[in-house]
Structure 1
Amino acid sequence: MNNPHPIDTRPLITGDDPAAQTYYQDLVSEYGSPLLVLNGRVLKTRFKALQAALPEVDLYYAVKAHPDPEIIKIIDQLGGGFDIASAGEMSLLLDHKVSGRRTIHTHPIKKDQEIRDGLRFGATTFVIDNVHELKKLVPYRSRVGVLLRVSFRSASAIVDLSKKFGCAPDEVSELVQEANALGIHVKGLSFHVGSQCHDASKHVEAISRCHRLMQEINETANKPLSVLDIGGGFPADYELKGLDIEAFCMPIRAALAELPRDWHLIAEPGRYLVAPSVTSVTTVAGKSMRNGFRWYYLDDGIYGSYSGQLFDHATYPLQVFRDGERMPSIVAGPTCDSIDVVAENIGLPELEIGDLVIGHQMGAYTAATKTRFNSIPDARLVVVDHPQEPPVLVN
């Protein structure tokens, strides 16, 4: 018979850590609970690390990963560009006086109003993947440049982003010809091999294939293709094993070195930058013993900051400041819905009402996909500048 409660194997940190416990308790005392704590120093460190790993590539932050004004402010200060996909994201950037010239509009499917909003905002580079979207741009052809999105599906990616969008590689030449006939300038190609990739092999394959496609087209093109957008897919360390972004990017860097030196290279990082930069702080609001499991009810859950467990297929490492025998436990969120369970059959030392439960690597696709079910207030975002790096578990 199948176990109705398979063991939750996510990384779990238990035991005394007086400095960390005091740090988080002080934040809760000042700002309340639940919280999302944005460590600006970690975000800056991650941005600079990816810049160093891909020195020839301009980084455009994927706003969808966590569209918070404080994150936009930090990326803006670092000189990054922005990958946008909606008028709402444009509005967020407008509030920070970010020029549309520092953006690329990457949603391949757009209403006419979205195109006009983008042009009004100052965006000039749009991504498309089919002839119907090309035709939508005809009225604005003197003001836009196009990147054709190409599909490269990766079996190793946790989230497949080439299922819904992207033309087949053998369709690229025909789309470029159609664009030329319509008087639309194709600047280059783009791809996204999927989110949370285990290795860079699919990036390398996509770069090499796009290189060949662009070279073949440029042999007869009046306006040669010269932009390559390599998308995102740079992973977060949900396993707390330590992530060497330099090693991850080494094969990507080698593949990019084969391209012409005058091509403009773009990437769209989101998860790698913001996941480790944000920590969740929740409080045990209640507890019970039911069917052999200790239940702990938090003041944040699946409908809030932990929404990425449903929508993003992510599992976030947890930390509690208790020690002792680990007993089968269930960690639930605050709503009335039974689906609101953060961790099922996880071995926890006994917790008490008022204890803190810390979620790590919680910056990407968490607050971005939260709901207001039961009209429960959102976790409050608090910005800090703290030297503490995200934890790493040592086996």
Structure 2
Amino acid sequence: MAHAHSVLDFQSFSSQTLSAAEVSLIESSVEQFGAPLLLLDCDVIRSQYRELKNALPTVTLHFALKPLPHPAVVKTLLEEGASFDLATTGEVELVAQQGVPAERTIHTHPIKRDSDIRDALAYGCNVFVVDNLNELAKFKAYKDEVELLVRLSFRNSEAFADLSKKFGCSPEQALTIIETAKEWNIRIKGLSFHVGSQTMNPQKYVDAILTCKQVMEQVVERGLPALSTLDIGGGFPVSYSKHVTPIDEFCVPINEALNELPETVHVIAEPGRFIVAQAMMSVASVMGQAEREGQIWYYLDDGIYGSFSGLMFDDAQYPLVTLKQGGEYLPSVLAGPTCDSIDVIAENVMLPQLDNGDLVVGRMMGAYTSATATDFNFFKRAQTIVFNEEAAAQERMIG
């Protein structure tokens, strides 16, 4: 099972401090619930949602459940007025359980089983995504119930996850799908795209928006029904260890491009990581230690197969900090608890001398951590503890 993955480096530990309030919260949580833990702060969810909403004032935000499908996240965003982006029956069930009105959802998986379509329709979600004729044909049986978005592909080698490699079609293919849909009496509502996760250059969105504008114009030129919706996807960047452009600045050129669209076009987006990455901290404790080849190995009760799964599946460089500070710093390794040699979180890092039971905290642990964690080796995944689930009273009054 030994294969390469990205481990955290010394940069991940630099300039990281915890406030007295955070230390108190971490210690009291571990005292009450044990370790490992994930501490989810709903106030950060609210703040991130509002920040993106302010940066994209004309866009309806559909939170993508994939990075953190937690009931508290859904409940918090529902109260904020958010809409939701669903891709599976499990996600449909989660939003239904939290009382999300079906009209505030879209189903964006480009490839679906018939049961996936039926489950979403039974809930009341009737907007779906297609990117090929095979998928379009699945909707013949539901043509009186559905509205479809055609997903275009815009390759992005700079993004961590180039989602247009796996999904999306060319503008020419999109026009063929839209013409065929008219023949089959299936309603095409609009277009969609996703420029890729952690997209650092807003020009990628601009280029995609302007291409979609051209396709919309060609649709009208061909005498097809005008399109009313554009889904600009997600991928808005957050800062792990590298600086990223503040979201209000990042979205300026995107808004300028959106202003080129006809006023009749409703624009939606599917943010995921941007909303939740910053909202969760991980807390792991030292299970044991050993000296190997001049470095001290600390074995934690959480690792690659648990909350740090993003080191395998994601591009995250989680900032880490130890609660114990000061004293001599020694070259160290942080390893996870499983019996697999790949389960290493960070190598060649300078840490103070830690004792068994000491705590190591990870920041920016909200996206693609608990969502992709496993119970491998029967090590139970970290328990998620939710804070600030109720908005402050004055905020509820304002809202």
Class of the TM-score when normalised by the shorter of the 2 chains: over 0.9
Partner Cα distance (2:352, 2:16) in 1: 8
What's the secondary structure of 1:60's corresponding residue?
strand
Task: State how far apart, in whole Å, the 2-side matches of 1:340 and 1:308 are.
Answer: 12
Corresponding residue number in structure 1 for 2:223: 221
CA 1:6 to 1:36, structure 2 compared with 1: closer, same or farther past 3 Å?
closer
- Report deviation, 1:223: 2.1
Tell me, yes or no, if the aligned pair for 1:179 and 1:185 is still in contact at 8 Å: yes
Q: Match for residue 249 of structure 1?
A: 251
User: Cα 1:211–1:342, aligned 2, differ >3 Å: closer, same or farther?
Assistant: same
- Alpha-carbon contact 2:237-2:244 (below 8 Å) kept: no
| Residue 361 of structure 1 pairs with residue 350 of structure 2 | no
Give the fraction of aligned pairs with identical amino acids, expressed as a percent.
46
Aligned residues: CA RMSD = 1.9
Deviates more, 1:89-98 or 1:135-144: 89-98
Tell me, yes or no, if the aligned pair for 2:8 and 2:318 is still in contact at 8 Å.
Answer: no
AA of the residue aligned to 1:214: M
* Maintained 8 Å contact 1:84/1:105: yes
User: Any conservation in 1 of the 2:8–2:346 contact (CA below 8 Å)?
Assistant: no
Corresponding residue of 1:341: 344
- Determine helix, strand or coil for the equivalent of 2:251: helix
1:153 is aligned to 155
Q: 1:140/1:5 Cα in 2 relative to 1: closer, same or farther (>3 Å)?
A: closer
By how many angstroms is 1:248 displaced?
1.0
Does 1:143 find its partner at 2:145?
Answer: yes
Which digits, 9 at most, give the CA deviation of each residue in 1:329-379, with x for residues without a partner?
110111111111111222222222121111010101111101110121221
Deviation string 1:252-280 (CA, Å, 9 cap, x unpaired) is 11111111112110000000000001111
Distance in 1, matches of 2:55 and 2:263, equals: 17
Distance in 1 (CA, whole Å) between partners of 2:161 and 2:326 is 35
Cα distance in 2 between the residues matched to 1:122 and 1:233:
27
Cα deviation, residue 156, structure 1: 1.6
Cα deviation digits, residues 223-264 of structure 1 (max 9, x gap): 211100000001121016475110111111111111111211
Aligned residue pairs total 383
Q: Which residue matches 1:128? A: 130
**Aligned residue in 2 for 1:96:** 98
Contact 1:211–1:259, Cα closer than 8 Å, also in 2 = yes
| TM-score, normalised with respect to structure 2 | 0.92
Correspondence for 1:172 among 166, 171, 174: 174
The corresponding residue for 1:382 is: 385
Contact kept, 8 Å, 2:179 with 2:224, in 1: the verdict is no
Choose 45-54 or 237-246, whichever is displaced more: 237-246
- Output the amino acid matched with 2:299: Y
TM-score normalised by L of structure 1: 0.93
CA displacement at 1:56 relative to structure 2: 0.3
Q: Hey, what's the Cα distance between the residues in 2 that align with 1:45 and 1:128?
A: 33
Q: Give the Å deviation of 1:91.
A: 0.8
Residue 212 of structure 1 aligns to which amino acid in structure 2? Answer: Q
The alpha carbon displacement at 1:22 in A equals 2.4
Distance 1:5 1:255, change over 3 A: closer
> In the TM superposition, what whole-angstrom CA distance separates every residue of 1:83-133 from its partner, at most 9, and x where no partner exists?
111101111111112222211111000111111111111111000100000
Residues 247, 101 of structure 1: CA spacing in aligned structure 2 closer, same or farther, 3 A cutoff?
same
Post-superposition Cα deviations, 1:156-207, rounded to whole Å, max 9, x if no partner, equal 2111101000001221111111111111111110000000111211111100
Gaps of 5+ in 2: 390-399
Q: How far off is 1:15 after superposition?
A: 6.5
Matched to 2:104, the amino acid is: R
| CA distance in structure 2 between the aligned counterparts of 1:371 and 1:177, rounded to whole angstroms | 44
Q: CA deviation at 1:219?
A: 2.8
The range that moved more, 210-219 or 223-232, is: 210-219
SS, match of residue 194 in structure 1: coil
